[in-house]
Structure 1
Amino acid sequence: MFNELWIHRKYILNNAITELKFRYAGSTMGIVWNFLNPLFQILVYTFIFTNVMIAKIPGLNNTMGFAIYLCAGLLAWTAFSESINRGGGAYIENANLLKKLPIPEHVFVAKVVVSAAFNGAVSYLILFIFILFSGEPLSIKWLLVPIILLLLFIFAFGISLIISFFNVLFKDTSQIVSIVLNIWMWLTPIVYTRAIIPEAFQNVFNFNPIYPFIEALHQTIVYKEYPASWIWISMCLISASAFMLGYYTLCKLRKEVRDLL
C-alpha cells in the first residue's frame, strides 16, 4: 500500500490542493473563505465564552482560555470527522473512475484525508495567529502540533479505509457513521473539560481512541506543556493499529468491492 500511495502522491496532492482552491468556487471571494470560515468560528466562540457564557479553565488566568481550549480540540475534530465522512464514501463517489482507471482504491481515500488535513492545517494556522494577537506569547511546544495532527490523520485514514469498504457492502453505513460520530464527539472532552466529569466515569476516556490526540493538542496549545509519554505511545499505537486494520480490510475485500461498484 505504501508503494501505491507513493506512486500516486502527485495525484493525491494535486487533487487535495485543487479541492482546497475550488471548495468555494462560484463565490465572490473563492479561496479566501478557507481562511475566513475558521477565523469567524474562532471569533464567535471567543465572544460567546468570554462575554456571554463566561467560562474559565482551572489553572489558567487567561480570560480567553476556554475559547482557545474549545478551538484546539474542535478544529481537530472537525477535520477528523470530515475525513471519516467523506473518506468513507470515497469508493462510491469515485465508482466511475475505479471502473475505468487502474488506480488503487485507497488513493481516493487518501486524497480526501489529505484535503481535510490541509483544511485543518489552515484552521490551526489561523488559531495560532489569533492567540498571538490576543497577547499570548509564542511557545516552542506548538511545534509538536503538526506531528500530533499527522498521527491523527493516519488514524483517520485507517478508519476511512474500513468504512469505505463497508459503505459499498452495506448502503446504510454512512448514516450509521454520522450517528456514531455525533455520539463520539460528546464522549470526548472537547466542549467540556475532563475535570467536570464525575471521577467514577473518567476511566471511560481511557477507552476513547481519539482522546489522546485531543488531550495532546490541549496540552501543547492551551497549557503549553509537553504531552506525557503515555499520550505519545497511545497515539502511535492507535494510528498504527488503525492503519494496519485498514490495510487488512483492503486486502480482504478489494476484489469483492470492485465487483459491486
Structure 2
Amino acid sequence: MDEVKVVVAHSERATLRVGDVFLKVDADQERMDVEVEVMALAPVPTPEILWRKPPVLAIAAVPGTVLGRLGEPSTTPPKAWAAVGAAIRKLHDAPLPPRPGRAGRSIDELAAELDAECEWLVTNGVLPADLVTRNRQVAEAALRPWNPVFTHGDLQIAHVFIEGDEVTGIIDWSEAGQGDALYDLATVTLGHEERLDDVIAGYGADVDLEVIRAWWSLRSLLGIRWLAEHGFDPTTPGCEVDVLRAQM
C-alpha cells in the first residue's frame, strides 16, 4: 500500500494523498458541490475527479510541480509566471459560474470583516497598531465597485502546477465563483511582488496596481487570525505579517 500523507488538515477540512490520488474530506457538502461544479466549468487544467462519496472527494494528482510556496523564494522562470497570468485571463474571460465565490463578497461585508479583524489584531497585541492602521488605509483601495468574472478565489501559488512554461493544473476550487478579477491576481502574487510584472504581462490587460497592493494588505489582515487558529504561522518569513510590513 502506498504511504498516506497528510497534505493539509484543520477543523474545516483535510486532504490526504495516497499515491497519485488525493482524498479531500469536507463536512460542508455545499462547499464540495461548488468545487465539483466549477471544475467542470473552468476552461483551464483542473484535476480529474475519480469518485465522490460524501464527505470524501477523490481526485487525481495533476502533473508538474507547484509554482512555488508562500514564504519561500521563487525559482520559477518568468515565462512560467507569464503563463499563469495567461491562464488566469482565460478563466476570467469565461462565462460566469452560477454563484458568487470567495472573491465576490460585497464591499459592506468586506469592510465590516476588515474592521473586526483590525480591532482584534490591535486589541490582542498581535500586531503593532501603526502596522495595522497603515495596512487598513492601503486596503481601502480594494473596497470599490468591480465587474464580476469567473474567479478561483484561493489562487495561492501552491495551488498552481507548471511544467516548463506551461500550466498543467490548478487545484482547490472550493472558493471559486463570481468575483473580483484583481483578487485572483493579488493572491497568486502575494509575497512575490517581484513576479507581478510577469503575471500581468501574461494576463495581457491593464490592471490597477494600487488595488493589487490593497488586496495584499486586505487578504493578509483578514487571514492572520484564521491561520493562527488553524495551526498555521502567519509570522513565517515571507508570509502574511511580512507582506504587511512591506506595505509600510
Q: TM-score, normalised by structure 2?
A: 0.29
Greater Rg over alpha carbons, structure: 1
